[in-house]
Structure 1
Amino acid sequence: MSATLRTLERADLPFLHALFNDPEVTRYWFVEPTYSLAAMEDRYNQRIHDESERRFVIDDAGRRCGLVELVDIDLRHRNCEFQIIVAPEAQGNGYAGAATRSALDYAFRTLNLHKVYLLVDNLNAAAIHVYQKAGFVSEGVLRQEYFADGAYQDVTRMAIYQRDYLAD
């Protein structure tokens, strides 16, 4: 595996459209799988110069394997939220761990952020394992935070600090 992160481009939108219309993918993002390609294009155009977010495609020799986002970047408080999707057909190949580490390198070494946090569905054991392995620790449980699959779901907020990440 030689995956890298590269900036999301307009040509990647059909790939994202497929991801965000897959119920198995969107279930863990707490959104409905009802995104139109036109809406995604509009959103891309609106956000192209937004400095409060960075979006990357996980790329393995030209094959799109997933999406990584750093959103709600707050330069005053030096934190942001981390989000990741590995395409179902690419799962189980180490992309999530490698992409998480690459995103954290960018957040802490390039953006000089203090803290990166995330929300993870408590039922998503595979993701929790990846995050813990990368150094994220639990900050607490948000009970019945999202409605998915006909029920309210608990999520855990996890975080990692720059000092801890760079010490490893």
Structure 2
Amino acid sequence: METGREASAAIRIRPLEREDLKFVHGLDNNANVMRYWFEEPYEAFVELQDLYNKHIHDQSERRFIVDHQGQNVGLVELVEIDYIHRRAEFQIIIDPAWQNHGFATAAAKLAMAYAFDALNLYKLYLVVDNENVRAIHVYSKLGFQAEGVLIHEFFANGAYHDATRMCIFQHEYRSLYGSDSGPAAALPGDGPDPVR
């Protein structure tokens, strides 16, 4: 069995492709996953295909499959990319069957490298359910800091939930991770294994 470090070393991110939609559809219809995305676990496959077709050329988002040795284990997204203010929202889902292997941390680092080095963004932010203590721990460990609490921001499972908006800036990222995580480490498709 792989340790978390060995498993995360084999992680790479690559652009979401049409053939990945079945995997994403499974995540989008999993109540345990969608509860933390503040969305109803209900999406028809044709709806997902339509969204993919609509957004395939949208420059305000980048969606990546988290790949572990050829197996789809998650999805990481940079959405609402704003090239004037140089910011984007960060989102990640790791398939519940693949959680607790360090994949979220590894994939997040790759997405952060892509955002800050390849896209030259200044700020990444995210919104996390205050009850999702594990995610908050991972984000804090990665260098994200709380910006504020959003009171009763989302309705899920019959109740309103508070959420925390967290962020990290490019200079903070570079201070934590240096510049050798640069674009070559994050760009999908560079070499046989662009992720270290």
| TM bin (shorter chain) | over 0.9
Greater RCO structure (CA 8 Å; 6+ sep): 2
Structure 2: how far apart are the matches of 1:166 and 1:109?
Answer: 9
Count, aligned residues: 168
Partner of residue 35 from structure 2, selected from 27, 30, 41: 27
TM-score normalised per structure 2? 0.85
For residue 73 of structure 1, what is the amino acid of its counterpart?
Answer: I
| Structure 2: segments with no counterpart, 5+ residues | 1-6, 177-196
Equivalent residue number for residue 92 of structure 2: 84
Query: Which structure has the bigger radius of gyration?
Result: 2
Identity of aligned residues (%): 54
Structure 2: how far apart are the matches of 1:6 and 1:121?
Answer: 27
Equivalent residue number for residue 49 of structure 2: 41
Equivalent residue number for residue 171 of structure 2: 163
Equivalent residue number for residue 133 of structure 2: 125
Show CA shifts across 1:98-154 (max 9, x none). Answer: 011000000000000000000000000110011001000000000000000100000
Runs of 4+ in structure 1 off by over 3 angstroms are none
Structure 2: how far apart are the matches of 1:46 and 1:148?
Answer: 27
How much does 1:18 deviate?
0.4
How much does 1:78 deviate?
0.1
The answer to whether structure 1 residue 93 and structure 2 residue 104 are counterparts is: no
More strand by share: 1
For residue 24 of structure 1, what is the amino acid of its counterpart?
Answer: N
RMSD between aligned residues:
0.4
| Structure 1: segments with no counterpart, 5+ residues | none
